[in-house]
A and B are shown apart, each in its own frame.
Chain A
């Protein structure tokens, strides 16, 4: 059964149509990479999946919820759909541990001590077990991004969305974040990654979707898509991205 079902969605920003009829489905445990140039609509598609952007047409079902913009229903959906952003967006006035504990305590009504144990577990998962009391500005970009991943994981989501999570990072910091994502993939988490890391997409994603001008231009199992792109547009995109 598919965990994510997207049916012919359209999204406009004013007169600019960013998504022009996108349909896709993602199975439980599947890892899907979304690639494409800036402005191709891949980040918008991802943001539509947890209701950060409202779709104009079409339908989305994700993690057992129908997309609805009713506040309570949207919150129920978001409990099951985690998202990590390019800019980390940690809460700067809270420590790493407090960042992670906030939603479990306030949304899932965990006690402080339960949430503390859960937060510690999630920090351990991303290799930052010893940074519980560090404020975000004391952490490197890569560490901040891993805390952001832990923060999402603490809600025990069914699906994780990653929006260009390494684009703001130096290459050496990128690796530690990608390793954390790869661990999650290995544990069977259903994930969609918007990414510019082509080699990572090929290695980790079961399937890769190439977006262009607001539609899915080409998609397939990552291995074959990267090895034998069918369309000339994807070929030239990959050539530019991989610098070959």
Chain B
């Protein structure tokens, strides 16, 4: 049996890089896929909207833990050995794409139809209407909830521990098993999550309370 000492704390702290790597993977992968989800959700084709809505429902309706198992074990059916980082990254990306896609879709829908119309009336093609008129306004609306969701992603990476990926939760578990000091190990883990999440939460709150500024169209009457 080992003592719970500096080496154990350092072991957990070093695992932080993997928590952050997973977070980054999920946020950027999920962000890119989420943009696609949001854009397809406002597509003119009813079938595309329905198909993407189905994707969102299925992903949001599946526990991330189950998604994690599926991404880890499914490739082996085809004889592919996926490492834990990769499997966890895919599961988190799928999950984030559905939630971020839904957040961004509602931000896009929050822009008054009159903004689309007046931009189209200026002969701008749809892609430019989106890029220069709609997206900049939608980004301002979506920013607080996007940063808020980033906090969720940070905590969700802990589920990767279940497929053996050593991020801070798994590191805490290993230290706990070796030292029989679960409280010390998990308090240490919890503190690290808090240190990342707290500033992000405050940042999100600050974005929320900041005056929405020029995101609103002119009031009528």
Instruction: Known A52-B117, A106-B132; judge A89-B122 contact (CB<8 A).
Output: no
Q: Does A229 contact B (CB under 8 A)?
A: no
Q: Does A79 contact B (CB under 8 A)?
A: yes
Q: Does B123 contact A (CB under 8 A)?
A: yes
Contacts of A93 in B (CB 8 A): 136-137, 140, 214-215
Q: Indicate which residue in A83, A87, A136 contacts B121 across the interface (CB closer than 8 Å).
A: A83
Question: In chain B between 96 and 114, which residues have their CB closer than 8 angstroms to a CB of chain A?
Answer: 112, 114
Q: Does B79 contact A (CB under 8 A)?
A: no
With both beta carbons as reference points, the residue of chain B lying nearest to A79 in the complex is identified as B123
Q: Does B118 contact A (CB under 8 A)?
A: yes
Question: In chain A between 57 and 96, which residues have their CB closer than 8 angstroms to a CB of chain B?
Answer: 71, 75-76, 78-79, 82-83, 85-93
Instruction: Known A75-B123, A78-B122, A135-B214; judge A87-B220 contact (CB<8 A).
Output: yes
* Separation of A187 and B112 alpha carbons in the complex (Å): 34
Shortest CB-to-CB span from B45 to chain A, Å, is 15
Interface size grouping (class) on chain B = 20 to 34
A92 and B216 contact, CB distance less than 8 A: yes
Q: Does B217 contact A (CB under 8 A)?
A: yes
**Chain A interface residue count, Cβ-Cβ cutoff 8 angstroms:** 32
Q: Does A151 contact B (CB under 8 A)?
A: yes
Contacts of B124 in A (CB 8 A): 75, 102-103, 106-107
Q: Indicate which residue in A79, A89, A137 contacts B118 across the interface (CB closer than 8 Å).
A: A89
Contacts of A82 in B (CB 8 A): 121
Q: Indicate which residue in A88, A107, A144 contacts B122 across the interface (CB closer than 8 Å).
A: A107
Q: Does B63 contact A (CB under 8 A)?
A: no
Contacts of A190 in B (CB 8 A): none
Question: In chain B between 121 and 159, which residues have their CB closer than 8 angstroms to a CB of chain A?
Answer: 121-126, 128, 132-133, 136-137, 140
A50 and B121 contact, CB distance less than 8 A: yes
* Separation of A83 and B118 alpha carbons in the complex (Å): 8
* Separation of A88 and B221 alpha carbons in the complex (Å): 11
Q: Does A117 contact B (CB under 8 A)?
A: no
Contacts of B132 in A (CB 8 A): 91, 102, 106
* Separation of A168 and B220 alpha carbons in the complex (Å): 6
Contacts of B121 in A (CB 8 A): 50, 52, 78, 82-83
A103 and B214 contact, CB distance less than 8 A: no
With both beta carbons as reference points, the residue of chain A lying nearest to B122 in the complex is identified as A103
Q: Does A41 contact B (CB under 8 A)?
A: no
Q: Does B218 contact A (CB under 8 A)?
A: yes
* Separation of A75 and B137 alpha carbons in the complex (Å): 23
Contacts of A141 in B (CB 8 A): 218
* Separation of A159 and B175 alpha carbons in the complex (Å): 76
Instruction: Known A87-B114, A107-B123, A107-B124; judge A92-B214 contact (CB<8 A).
Output: yes
Contacts of A144 in B (CB 8 A): 218
Contacts of A151 in B (CB 8 A): 122
Q: Does B3 contact A (CB under 8 A)?
A: no
A78 and B215 contact, CB distance less than 8 A: no
Q: Does A155 contact B (CB under 8 A)?
A: yes
With both beta carbons as reference points, the residue of chain A lying nearest to B116 in the complex is identified as A89
Query: A-facing mask of B71-114, CB < 8 A → 1, else 0?
Result: 00000000000000000000000000000000000000000101
* Separation of A83 and B117 alpha carbons in the complex (Å): 10
B117 and A89 contact, CB distance less than 8 A: yes
Contacts of B133 in A (CB 8 A): 91, 102
Shortest CB-to-CB span from B164 to chain A, Å, is 47
Question: In chain B between 182 and 221, which residues have their CB closer than 8 angstroms to a CB of chain A?
Answer: 213-218, 220-221
Q: Indicate which residue in A50, A87, A91, A155 contacts B119 across the interface (CB closer than 8 Å).
A: A91
A92 and B137 contact, CB distance less than 8 A: yes
Question: In chain A between 99 and 122, which residues have their CB closer than 8 angstroms to a CB of chain B?
Answer: 102-103, 106-107
* Separation of A76 and B125 alpha carbons in the complex (Å): 10
B137 and A78 contact, CB distance less than 8 A: no
Contacts of A76 in B (CB 8 A): 123
A-to-B contact residues, CB < 8 Å? 50, 52, 71, 75-76, 78-79, 82-83, 85-93, 102-103, 106-107, 135-137, 141, 144, 148, 151-152, 155, 168
Give 9 pairs: A residue, B residue, CB < 8 Å, sorted on A.
A75-B124, A78-B120, A89-B114, A93-B140, A102-B132, A102-B133, A106-B132, A107-B128, A151-B122
- Please name 17 further chain A to chain B contacts, defined as beta carbons within 8 Å, in addition to the given A71-B126, A85-B114, A148-B118, sorted by A numbering: A71-B125, A75-B125, A76-B123, A83-B121, A87-B218, A89-B118, A90-B118, A92-B214, A92-B217, A93-B140, A107-B123, A135-B214, A136-B218, A137-B214, A137-B216, A152-B122, A155-B122
